[in-house]
Amino acid sequence: MQTNDKQEKIIDMFNEIAPTYDRANRILSMGIDISWRKKACSITYNNYNKQEIKLIADIACGTGDMMNYWQKEATKKEIKIEKILGIDPSFGMVEVAKKKFPDFNFVISNATDIPLENESVDILSISYGIRNVVERQKAFFEFARVIKKGGYVVILEFTKDDKKGIISSLKRFYLNKVLPFIGGLISKNYKAYRYLPDSIEGFLTSSMLQKELNIAGFETEYAKSFSMNICTLIIAKKC
């Protein structure tokens, strides 16, 4: 399958599950993803150490949850943000996001073709989305183009676990058996939730992901895995 066709197939899948995405996500993550998102925002704000931020771009924004946490954590820290922009190629996901967060700004676009000027973004985030970008390295170079020097890229993702042991076995059982079953029941789309564990297994480890970021001109400042290594947070600065 050609690159464009593969990417379009993934986008179509997200269009199909958009109406039930939030409900399935909360149940499957048991709400733990909320703490991961908050942590990502808090650490990034501390590292950036600025009280006024012009633009935060959330790539593969989905239904807008990460944008909401950028705003909430900024309010807690008394940080003024001029604009938070959500960018996603899925029309269905963005339609849900607009209803949830009518005051936020959204654009339909791919991660490899961001409609922003060079060095215009202070912080760029992508939560559980880089795994779905077929031309990942191209996207990282595009991130580097739009982020200001000294700005940050923030990635939350389900990375491949190359460890062995009981915990890793339990995690694989959940991802391969429990998650597709429950996600399929909620969304009526088993194929979409079968895609998730398959895409994780075919993805990168945290260290491999950091190497690709480094090639694009980023230096990792924070990298940590959470909840039995299910989720990894990487915060990298543009050199």
Q: Which residue has the tokens 């949850």?
A: 65
CA distances from 195 to 38, 90, 192 (A): 26, 17, 5
Please check whether residue 198 is in contact with residue 183, taking contact to mean a CB–CB distance below 8 angstroms: no
Q: Is 179 within the bounds of a domain? A: no
Which residues are within 8 A (CB) of 41 and not within 5 positions of it... i.e. 6 or more apart?
69, 70, 72, 73, 74, 154
Instruction: Report yes or no on 181 lying in a domain.
Output: no
Any domain includes 192: no
Sole residue written with tokens 């990417």: 7
Identify whether 138 is part of a domain: yes
Helix spans in the chain (H):
3-29, 32-48, 65-76, 91-100, 136-146, 166-173, 179-187, 190-201, 206-215
- DSSP secondary structure of 60-111: T-TTSHHHHHHHHHHHHTT-EEEEEEEEES-HHHHHHHHHH-TTSEEEE--T
Residue 71's pLDDT is: 98
CB 66 within 8 A of CB 37: yes
- CA dist 195 and 161 (Å) reads 17
pTM (2 d.p.): 0.87
Q: Is 35 domain-assigned?
A: yes
- Quick check: helix, strand or coil at residue 9? helix
Is the residue at 187 inside a domain?
no
Distance CA 177, CA 28 (A): 12
Question: Does 195 reside within a domain?
Answer: no
Say what the pLDDT of residue 93 is. Answer: 94
Q: What are 41's two structure tokens? A: 């925002």
Q: Does 188 reside within a domain?
A: no
Length of the chain: 239
Q: Give the residue numbers spanning the domain of 223.
A: 3-160+205-238
Domain count, the chain: 1
Give the phi and the psi of residue 147 in degrees, each rounded to 5. Answer: -85, 140
**For residue 147, what is the domain's CATH number?**
3.40.50.150
Q: Which residue has the tokens 């009280």?
A: 51
- CA dist 84 and 111 (Å) reads 16
pLDDT in tens, the chain (239 residues): 678 889 999 999 889 888 887 777 766 666 778 899 999 999 999 999 999 999 999 999 999 999 999 999 999 999 999 999 999 999 999 999 999 999 999 999 999 999 999 999 999 999 988 988 999 999 999 999 999 999 999 999 877 666 666 766 776 676 677 667 777 777 777 676 776 666 666 667 888 899 999 999 999 999 998 866 778 999 999 99
